[in-house]
Amino acid sequence: MLALFQTIDLALNLYTWILIASAIFSWLYAFNVINSSNQFVNSVGMFLYNVTEPVLRPIRRVLPNLGGIDISPIILLLIIFFIRSFMWNTIVPMVLR
């Protein structure tokens, strides 16, 4: 049973890093730091967008419009942190008794 929780924790940790990479990539793309006509850059951007957008979209619908500031990745990171903490501090001790 512990292996299942460790696998879930690993997946959430990996998704956290993908979310951070997506945010950094979007900033680099918005400020024309990276070449948007490069096929590899577009492939990486599309991958990051396709992996993160389905989760971020519902959060953006709930949040008020803050102009050009998108805090949905921060909200999602807080949700992931809560899930991981809740899992390790509440669920795992109950299951492993």
Is 90 exceeded by the pLDDT of residue 43? Answer: yes
Q: What average pLDDT does range 66-76 have in this prediction? A: 92
Domain of 46, in residue numbers: 2-95
Which amino acid type is present at position 39? Q
Who wins on pLDDT, 67 or 18?
18
Is 90 exceeded by the pLDDT of residue 44? Answer: yes
- Three-state SS string over the chain comes to CHHHHHHHHHHHHHHHHHHHHHHHHHHHHHCCCCCCCCHHHHHHHHHHHHHHHHHHHHHHHHCCCCCCCCCHHHHHHHHHHHHHHHHHHHHHHHHCC
Other CB atoms within 10 Å distance of the CB of residue 9:
15
- Closest by CA to 89, choosing from 5, 3, 19, is 5
Is 90 exceeded by the pLDDT of residue 36? Answer: no
Based on the structure, what is the number of domains in the chain? 1
Q: What average pLDDT does range 87-91 have in this prediction? A: 96
pTM of structure: 0.90
How far apart CA 70 and CA 74 sit, in angstroms, is 9
